[in-house]
Structure 1
Amino acid sequence: MSASLGRRALAEAVGAAALVAVVVGSGIQATELSQDTGVRLLANSLATVFGLGTLVVLLGPVSGAHFNPVVTLAAWCTGRRTGEGLGGRDVAAYVPAQIAGAIAGAVLADAMFGKPLVHWSRHDRSAGHLLLGEVVATAGLVLLVFGLARVGRDRFAPVAVASYIGAAYWFTSSTSFANPAVTIGRAFTDTFAGIAPGSVAPFIAAQAGGTVLGLTLVAALFGRPAPAQPVTPSVHGEPGLAAPTLP
């Protein structure tokens, strides 16, 4: 990536803030417009699909549009084998930026609708079946993102990721948070999209398990990425072909 680390971290913060503002704001709007839970969920999921797809298209060229510590840590983990991708310094900048942005997005959404700026959610989501839903949702997201990259179709990521999250709103019991930063941010709002602070740690643990499962599925389905091969100088002192891997 050509952008500086500071600019990339800012893009991650802005993207996470905008994503949570979309999720929380559309949840508040839906609650004020309808008493039907299904209609609320439909409005919330559609707004998230369109918002997330737009953010990925806009900020992807700057930071990769992770907006999610799961994606960042998985990228760092896979990059350690190939010698490419994010380094530890990138992770140390991305993850705090994502969390801070998510919290700011929740506060912004509450402010736009005249709600208390920080009001801890009372929406308990600690039931076992909800945690299983988070494992499934996160594993599917990791499989999609890194599977697309592995087969050279990451140009479809904006549509594919947004579509998957929209579908996972409906087919998972947890409504697919699949994002530790978003989970933390949504604890700051006592609205339709909120999550009680006591449910945050179990949700993040489930997301961590889903990340491991997703990476395992990527390796099983597409194979492990080959380590980067060192480039050796030619006899003229210029870069030559990569050194072959010895058996």
Structure 2
Amino acid sequence: MSRLTRALFAEALGTALLLATVVGSGIMGVKLAQGNDAIALLANAGATAAILYVLIVVLGPVSGAHFNPVVTLAMRLRGALTSREAAAYIAVQAIAAIVGVALAHGMFDQALLQPGTHAREGIGQWLSEGIATFGLLLTILLGIAHRPAAVPALVAAYIFAAYWFTGSTSFANPAVTLARSLTQSFAGIRPGDVPLFVAAQAAGGAAALGVARLLRAEDPERSV
């Protein structure tokens, strides 16, 4: 098996497990919360942060553990991937994310794919997604530069926090956003709300790249 094939398999596995966790913990959280949205959100945030830490630790050495087209594009711009590799990563992430949603639904005996009904629109939601993605990518880029061994914990901690401080509960990932438009669970989003979420995420990612370069400008040998 080639290096790229192994990397793509790792990205597929990790992204599918991530989405299975996001959606599955949302379904379970609502069941157990008995109408208490705070408890449901806590369960969803905690499970997502925990699985991210695990997946980054075990799959990072194989693929870099992107699980996110914004991260992949940033790595392409940094020269860590070729255009062909980046395109393959993004395709695999999108497909695997949908598979992960279907797996979550299957575990709870639900229809495998369900067009989302959860409205997520408006300036507050879009601003939240821009900020969530900005913070996530900045955490990754500066973490790689300053404390690479701490990146799994940094990403998990940031995502847990962003669930609570953003109005959108921090999707911060176009593949995740697309896949979550296929669930009617607590974690879902209406398909029509996806494009502006993704646009906001792209803007946040671009801003993070610029800020990371600015902060690392004094050290060209380790520029971000």
TM-score bucket (shorter structure): over 0.9
Aligned partner of 2:4 in structure 1 is 5
Aligned partner of 1:236 in structure 2 is none
Contact 2:143 2:154 (8 Å CA) reproduced:
no
- Cα deviation 1:11-44 (Å, max 9, x = unaligned): 1011000000000000000111111000000010
Identity within the alignment, %: 47
1:56 partnered with 2:51: no
1:216 partnered with 2:210: yes
* Larger-Rg structure: 1
> Aligned equivalents of 1:221 and 1:13: distance in 2?
32
Q: For residues 3 and 168 of structure 1, do their structure 2 counterparts lie closer, same or farther at Cα, with a shift above 3 Å needed?
A: farther
> Aligned equivalents of 1:211 and 1:17: distance in 2?
22
TM-superposed CA distance for 1:225, in Å, is 6.7
> Aligned equivalents of 1:64 and 1:37: distance in 2?
34
User: Out of 134, 149, 165, which is 2:159 matched to?
Assistant: 165
Aligned partner of 1:113 in structure 2 is 108
> Aligned equivalents of 1:17 and 1:225: distance in 2?
37
Aligned partner of 2:68 in structure 1 is 68
Point out the structure with the larger helix share: 2
Unaligned runs of 5+ in 1: 80-84, 229-247
- Normalization by structure 1: what TM-score? 0.86
Contact 1:21 1:106 (8 Å CA) reproduced:
yes
**Alignment RMSD (CA, Å):** 1.5
TM-superposed CA distance for 1:7, in Å, is 1.2
| SS of structure 1 residue aligned to 2:212 | helix
Contact 1:17 1:101 (8 Å CA) reproduced:
yes
TM-superposed CA distance for 1:219, in Å, is 1.3
Unaligned runs of 5+ in 2: none
- Cα deviation 1:93-148 (Å, max 9, x = unaligned): 10000001100000100010011111101001111101100000000111111111
| SS of structure 2 residue aligned to 1:167 | helix
Contact 1:3 1:63 (8 Å CA) reproduced:
no
Contact 1:22 1:51 (8 Å CA) reproduced:
yes
Taking the TM superposition and a 5 Å limit, the aligned residue runs for 1:71-86 are: 71-79=71-79, 85-86=80-81
- Normalization by structure 2: what TM-score? 0.95
> Aligned equivalents of 1:67 and 1:91: distance in 2?
12
Aligned partner of 1:201 in structure 2 is 195
> Aligned equivalents of 1:184 and 1:9: distance in 2?
19
The number of residues matched between the two structures is: 221
Contact 2:177 2:189 (8 Å CA) reproduced:
yes
> Aligned equivalents of 1:227 and 1:37: distance in 2?
47
> Aligned equivalents of 1:6 and 1:92: distance in 2?
13
Aligned partner of 2:120 in structure 1 is 125
Q: For residues 45 and 108 of structure 1, do their structure 2 counterparts lie closer, same or farther at Cα, with a shift above 3 Å needed?
A: same
| SS of structure 1 residue aligned to 2:78 | helix
> Aligned equivalents of 2:94 and 2:67: distance in 1?
9
> Aligned equivalents of 2:219 and 2:194: distance in 1?
33
TM-superposed CA distance for 1:154, in Å, is 1.2
- Cα deviation 1:51-87 (Å, max 9, x = unaligned): 11001111001000000000000111122xxxxx111
| SS of structure 2 residue aligned to 1:18 | helix
TM-superposed CA distance for 1:176, in Å, is 0.6
1:16 partnered with 2:15: yes
